[in-house]
Structure 1
Amino acid sequence: MFGSDDSRPAYHQSYEIIRDKILNGELPSGTKIVEEKVAKELGVSRTPIRESIRKLELEGLIANKRVVKPTETDLRNLFQVRILLEGYSALCAASYLKEEELDSLHKCVEIGKKGEVEEIMKANERFHEVIVQASHNPVMIDIIDRMQSIIYLFRRTVVNYNRPSLIDEHEKIYEAIKSRDGKEAEILMKNHLQADLDFCLHLIGNEKNNT
């Protein structure tokens, strides 16, 4: 089940597979997650499955061993936290990022312009990760880490549906950080994330109207 060239720990790969099944609807809301069954399906022991479930519980996708589907209110609340924390991280990034980290941000922007969907997904994730790490605040970094499944859900949506100006916004954030303009970087990041949220909520609203 796992990629032969993937050197990441089994629990990380298990986590991503289970997360993706939840987010794409293969494991719908209410589905009971049975460790032994999932371990057999993925060809691993129950230990990495147990660790994966624990992480997904922290992220709010599993509760009492059953799949939970985030509501619009959940998404709004989580993104309000993300806007605050990543806005502050962008402010910090303008002061603390080193040249190699700035280069990494620039590469992410370039991949966003020319890459395939999966490449853009990874570049998008890396772009935000570099900026969050710039906060040098382990509590903030941990909070964002617990939100990764919801962030992934939004990232997949904005990339698949080709949200207008997504990469342009990344480029402007990068330019502000490179120019060491922390206040501008903070404002741009907050506006960027708010645009992500608005775009996804608009799609959700359209889906409701069409059902």
Structure 2
Amino acid sequence: MKIVLGSDRSRPAFHQSYEIIRDKILNGELPGGTKIVEEKIAGELGVSRTPIRESIRKLEHEGLIVNKRVVKPTEKDLRNRFQVRILLEGYSAQCAASYLTENEINSLYECVEIGKKGNFEEMMSANERFHEIIVNASNNPVMIDIIDQMQSMIYLFRKTVIFYNRPHLIDEHEEIYKAIQERDGQKAELLMNSHLQADLDFCLHLIDS
């Protein structure tokens, strides 16, 4: 199906192309292993190959495309990325216990409640917001930028663990929230580390099965 860009002329074709391709990858329309053909996508979107080429470069930087194919993470890929996440988000959880305001802590609570009662899209949004609040608590622009560069891949992992209903996911969020509310940084860090390790183990189990 052809999708012609241009409804929002204030935004460059590159940005629009990037978002469309990224969404197709994240929603599974372009599954792992799919070969990315510039000419084909350019024809579908009604643009030249230049913005498509730029989009692919950005998606390669984010790890969603590797060697012109949609990423199909290996066990090693998963372990490497989660190792970085555990280090950064564990530290951020410790910072959150010290520096988050009461309003931000209340926002964490709201994310937990939505996770218990919301639909899939609401849970995805709440999950993303929960981790975003905690990461920003580090107040370290370098760390925040590294996580930001990994956001697409992180989103893919989060979608997997929510879609396949990983056990105890929201319970773990609630425990992290309580540790932060109690200003117990060491406990918050340990809980976040365990939470992300459980995400990794769940993703690896899906690959094996």
TM-score of the two chains, using structure 2 as the length reference: 0.83
The CA distance in 2 between the partners of 1:9 and 1:120, in whole Å, is 31
Q: Displacement, 1:39?
A: 4.9
Q: Percent identity?
A: 75
Instruction: Name the SS for the 1:29 alignment partner.
Output: coil
Q: Displacement, 1:120?
A: 0.2
Distance of aligned partners of 1:79 and 1:45 in 2 relative to their CA distance in 1, 3 Å threshold: same
1:100-120 deviation per Cα after TM superposition (whole angstroms, max 9, x unaligned)? 211211111110010000100
The count of aligned residue pairs is 202
8 Å Cα contact 1:157/1:200 also seen in 2: yes
Structure 1 residue runs without a partner (length 5+): 207-211
Letter of the 2:201 partner, please give it. Answer: D
The CA distance in 1 between the partners of 2:141 and 2:13, in whole Å, is 24
Instruction: Name the SS for the 2:24 alignment partner.
Output: helix
| Residue number in structure 1 paired with 2:152 | 149
Distance of aligned partners of 1:33 and 1:122 in 2 relative to their CA distance in 1, 3 Å threshold: farther
The CA distance in 2 between the partners of 1:198 and 1:78, in whole Å, is 13
| Residue number in structure 1 paired with 2:35 | 31
| Residue number in structure 1 paired with 2:21 | 18
Letter of the 1:186 partner, please give it. Answer: E
Distance of aligned partners of 1:64 and 1:203 in 2 relative to their CA distance in 1, 3 Å threshold: closer
1:44-68 deviation per Cα after TM superposition (whole angstroms, max 9, x unaligned)? 7777655543331112222454433
The reply to whether residue 98 of structure 1 matches residue 108 of structure 2 is no
Distance of aligned partners of 1:156 and 1:40 in 2 relative to their CA distance in 1, 3 Å threshold: same
Structure 2 residue runs without a partner (length 5+): none
1:74-132 deviation per Cα after TM superposition (whole angstroms, max 9, x unaligned)? 01110011011000000011111112211211111110010000100010001001111
RMSD value, Cα: 2.7
Q: Displacement, 1:156?
A: 1.0
1:19-72 deviation per Cα after TM superposition (whole angstroms, max 9, x unaligned)? 3433526254251341x6435534677776555433311122224544332211
Match 1:67 to one of 70, 91, 99: 70
